[in-house]
């Protein structure tokens, strides 16, 4: 079991299944949402995720049609993304995890929109947008 929480500790969650598809996203929405060079995120099955505290503090912002990013309304920490077009999976920002998920980011995506002040210095594959299917 994995646990995560927001910066103020008001919101807590548990994940009871494996994470999948961990990656670093350099798109401008992720950069702005997280105030960082990129967002590290993984996929989690909706059935494996549950809020354990403070769900009422989670506020949703629709960053693009059908994609809703949930954050703590007290501290602003980014907690979860959900998708109108794919209800079985959530997007989980790894920065809010309190436990080691085991998985590591396997690629960089949306590198075409990368911050000019940040250099990618690892050897992971880089994709201009999504990787080819
Ligand atoms: Zn909070
Ligand atoms: Zn992104």
Percentage of the chain lying above the pLDDT 70 cut: 100
Q: What is the pLDDT of residue 54?
A: 98
How far does the centroid of ligand 2 lie from the alpha carbon of residue 113, in Å? 9
User: Does the pLDDT value for residue 133 go beyond 90?
Assistant: no
- Who's near 63: CB < 8 A, 6+ residues apart? 29, 33, 69
Average pLDDT over residues 88-93: 98
Percentage of the chain lying above the pLDDT 90 cut: 98
Average pLDDT over residues 70-95: 98
Nearest ligand atom owner, CA of 127: 2
pLDDT in tens, 28-60: 999 999 999 999 999 999 999 999 999 999 999
How far does the centroid of ligand 2 lie from the alpha carbon of residue 42, in Å? 12
Between 131 and 133, residue with greater pLDDT: 131
pLDDT in tens, 102-113: 999 999 999 999
Tokens of 94: 């790894």
User: What is the rounded CA–CA span in Å between residue 31 and residue 38?
Assistant: 5
How far does the centroid of ligand 2 lie from the alpha carbon of residue 61, in Å? 14
How far does the centroid of ligand 2 lie from the alpha carbon of residue 32, in Å? 9
Nearest ligand atom owner, CA of 8: 1
**Quick one: how far is CA 91 from the chain centroid?**
5
């Amino acid at each position: 079991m994995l646990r995560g929480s927001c910066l103020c500790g008001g919101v807590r969650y548990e994940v009871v299944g494996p994470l999948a598809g961990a990656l670093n996203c350099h798109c401008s929405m992720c950069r702005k949402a997280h105030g960082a060079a990129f967002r590290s995120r993984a996929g989690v099955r909706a059935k494996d995720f549950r809020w354990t505290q403070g769900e009422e503090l989670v506020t949703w912002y629709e960053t693009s049609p059908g994609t809703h990013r949930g954050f703590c309304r007290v501290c602003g920490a980014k907690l979860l993304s959900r998708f109108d077009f794919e209800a079985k999976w959530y997007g989980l920002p790894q920065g809010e995890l309190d436990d080691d998920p085991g998985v590591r980011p396997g690629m960089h995506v949306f590198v075409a929109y990368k911050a000019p002040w940040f250099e990618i210095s690892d050897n992971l594959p880089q994709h201009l947008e999504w990787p080819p299917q």
